Amino acid sequence: MILDANQFVNLRGKLRQNEPMSAHTSWRVGGPAEWFYEPADVEDLRQFLRQVPNNIPIFWIGLGSNLLVRDAGIAGVVILTAGLLNEIKILEQNRLFVEAGVSCAKVARFAMRAGLTGSEFFAGIPGTFGGALAMNAGAWGGETWLLVQNVDILDRQGQRHRRSPKDYKIGYRSVTSLTGNQDEWFIAATLELFPSQGEDAKAKIQALLKKRAEKQPTGLPTCGSVFRNPSGDYAARLIEQAGWKGRCIGGACVSEKHANFIVNQNSATAAEIETLIEQIRASVEENTGISLIPEVRIIGNGKT
């Protein structure tokens, strides 16, 4: 079924056609999304989902980190959450309610200012809270789902449900629904944090940001870590050992600062980045027998 803008009624958000995804990804690459929707709020998003035909693929995007959109673009609908689903507030008993579009850095700062600790590691995650929920994002020893008390989701029909961590299989950088319904998406969660002592939370955030600036290429277009760390080892060490640090394919280069980062050094294409990812994987496996698992999500039509 072909989507027609005229079939949507009573929407308050912005619906656009052929939106360039390079404007919405941290790598600054990616072809056009067939349809791109910016909801006004959760109720508007529910109204929109009810009207999207079941055979039309739906993709969600926050700040576009941890995401590679192929050059030929995306067939279907892309829904933007960053800066839109942006409510964050303190609940009773040291709990924090956060919507999916809030940046992870803002979660860390907000909790700190509220006198709560436990979420400082979010300062080192370059994405939105919804993305952190979807992949159990972590940094510097912290992980998202260790703090989650419950989550709010929307299903394909725009119905809102509340779920608990027991409804999911939670692993390292992976979250799988046990409800049997894969067409549902995180829109918010409640986190359980802890009272902080004085300036403890602020000091932790400052230390994490300092360490991040020292070890990661923060000033260049990247997606964050490209590969998961294998058990008992580090992807960056294996990539450097295989001789890939500083090497490029076209405008896509392995960072000289951190080998598990690929930077868009000079007008890279998504195809160049994906090829570099594939060649690194093959090289590391040939050298060590370890098959690195990409942390980055690759979506869109085939490489061009």
Residue 117 and residue 76 share a domain: no
The pLDDT score that the predictor gives to residue 295 is 92
Answering whether pTM is above 0.75, one says yes
The pLDDT score that the predictor gives to residue 190 is 98
Active-site positions? 173, 225, 295
Residue 166 and residue 125 share a domain: yes
The contacts of residue 67 (CB under 8 Å, 6+ apart) are 25, 26, 27, 61, 223, 296, 297, 299
Residue 108 and residue 9 share a domain: no
Q: Do the domain assignments include residue 241?
A: yes
Q: Do the domain assignments include residue 304?
A: no
Q: Do the domain assignments include residue 175?
A: yes
The pLDDT score that the predictor gives to residue 218 is 75
CATH number, domain at 206?
Answer: 3.30.465.10
Cα dist. 160→43, 151, 186, 248, 291 in Å? Answer: 10, 10, 10, 45, 38
Residue 117 and residue 59 share a domain: no
Q: How many domains is the chain built from? A: 3
Residue 68 and residue 97 share a domain: no
The overall average pLDDT reported for the chain is: 92
Q: Crossing angle for the helix pair 200-215 and 104-113, nearest 10 degrees?
A: 150
Range with lowest mean pLDDT among 2-16, 47-61, 90-104, 196-210: 196-210
CATH number, domain at 246?
Answer: 3.90.78.10
Write down which residue in 53, 80, 107 finishes a domain.
Answer: 80
Q: Which domain holds residue 275?
A: 235-299
Range with lowest mean pLDDT among 59-68, 128-137, 172-181, 192-201: 192-201
Q: Are strands 74-80 and 58-61 parallel, antiparallel or unpaired?
A: parallel
Task: Cite the DSSP H helix spans in the chain.
Answer: 42-51, 104-113, 129-135, 200-215, 235-241, 270-288
What's the rounded Cα separation, in Å, for the pair 163 and 188?
11
Q: What is the 3-state secondary structure (H, E, C) of 100-147?
A: CCCEHHHHHHHHHHCCEECCHHHHHCCCEHHHHHHHCCEECCEEHHHC
Reported as a pLDDT band with limits 50, 70 and 90, residue 49 is: very high
Residue 145 and residue 186 share a domain: yes
What's the rounded Cα separation, in Å, for the pair 138 and 146?
10
Are 115 and 90 spatial neighbours (Cβ–Cβ below 8 Å)? no
Q: Do the domain assignments include residue 60?
A: yes
Q: Do the domain assignments include residue 127?
A: yes
The pLDDT score that the predictor gives to residue 63 is 93
The pLDDT score that the predictor gives to residue 126 is 87
Residue 204 and residue 92 share a domain: yes
Residue 199 and residue 150 share a domain: yes
CATH number, domain at 58?
Answer: 3.30.43.10
Q: Do the domain assignments include residue 223?
A: no
Residue 102 and residue 14 share a domain: no
Write down which residue in 56, 80, 104 finishes a domain.
Answer: 80
Residue 103 and residue 161 share a domain: yes
Q: Do the domain assignments include residue 240?
A: yes
Percentage above 90 pLDDT, the chain: 79
Where is pLDDT greater, at 13 or 179? 13
User: For the segment 200-241, what is each residue's pLDDT rounded down to a tens digit?
Assistant: 778 888 887 787 777 778 788 999 899 999 999 999 999 999
Over residues 272-284, mean pLDDT? 98
Residue 184 has pLDDT above 80, yes or no: yes
What's the rounded Cα separation, in Å, for the pair 247 and 196?
44
User: For the segment 259-272, what is each residue's pLDDT rounded down to a tens digit?
Assistant: 999 999 989 999 99
Over residues 180-207, mean pLDDT? 86
154: left (phi over 0), alpha (psi -120 to 50) or beta: beta
What's the rounded Cα separation, in Å, for the pair 235 and 227?
6
Residue 116 has pLDDT above 60, yes or no: yes
The pLDDT score that the predictor gives to residue 5 is 73
Reported as a pLDDT band with limits 50, 70 and 90, residue 2 is: low
The pLDDT score that the predictor gives to residue 198 is 64
Percentage above 70 pLDDT, the chain: 98
Q: Do the domain assignments include residue 230?
A: no
Residue 209 and residue 114 share a domain: yes
User: For the segment 76-95, what is each residue's pLDDT rounded down to a tens digit?
Assistant: 999 999 989 999 999 988 99
Write down which residue in 170, 186, 215 finishes a domain.
Answer: 215
Residue 294 and residue 199 share a domain: no
Residue 206 tokens, joined: 């400052």
Query: What burial letters (b/e) apply to 100-118, b meaning 16+ CB within 10 Å?
Result: bbbbbbbbbbbbbebbbbb
Where is pLDDT greater, at 66 or 190? 190
Phi and psi torsions of 222, nearest 5°? -140, 175
145: left (phi over 0), alpha (psi -120 to 50) or beta: alpha
